Amino acid sequence: MIKSLTYIFGCLLLGEIIQTFGHLSIPGSIIGMLLLTAALHFKILLLDDVKRFATILNKNMAFLFVPPGVALIQYISTIQSQLLAIVGSCVLSTIIVLIVVAFTMQKLDKTNG
């Protein structure tokens, strides 16, 4: 367990360092995710080294959204005054993305129908 904690926080730390020193706008956590993927792919780390903590995080990610979601309490008036901009754009854009991605993939995928 401690091993997987060390490696996952290690990737996060490296990601944060790369973001800070590279003045990048990509979040350090995403750089860390790519570092972890690369480390596993090139066998620098083994799946067993990181699996325990990673599995706990992957399975319970939804729970971590709750406290940031409670911050809604501070934006109730913003959302009320911008209801159409927020709800309208999200509904339309989500449907468009869904159809475009699925339609493109279905057209390009020649392996099966």
Partner 1 sequence: MDELYAVLNTKIFSITFTCLVYLLSQKLYARSRNFFLFHPVLLSIAVLIAYLKISGVSYETYKEGGDYISFFLGPAVVALGVPLYLQIEEIRAQKGPILISLIIGCIIGILSGVFFAFLFGGTKEVIFSIAPKSVTTPIAMGISGSIGGIPSLTAIIVVLVGIFGGIVGVPILKALKITNPKAMGLGMGACAHGVGTAAVSEEGQVHAAYGGLALGLCGVITAILTPLFMNVVWPLMEMWK
User: Which residue, 17 or 98, is less far from partner 1 as judged by CB?
Assistant: 98
**Rounded least distance, CB 112 to partner 1, Å:** 7
Token readout for 51 is: 């699996």
User: Which residue, 17 or 57, is less far from partner 1 as judged by CB?
Assistant: 57
The secondary structure of residue 85, as a DSSP letter, is I
**Rounded least distance, CB 71 to partner 1, Å:** 3
**Rounded least distance, CB 38 to partner 1, Å:** 8
Q: Where on the phi/psi map is residue 43: left (φ > 0), alpha (ψ -120 to 50), or beta?
A: left
**What DSSP string describes 34-80?**
HHHHHHHHTTSS-HHHHHHHHHHHHHTHHHHTHHHHHTHHHHHHHHH
**Rounded least distance, CB 17 to partner 1, Å:** 13
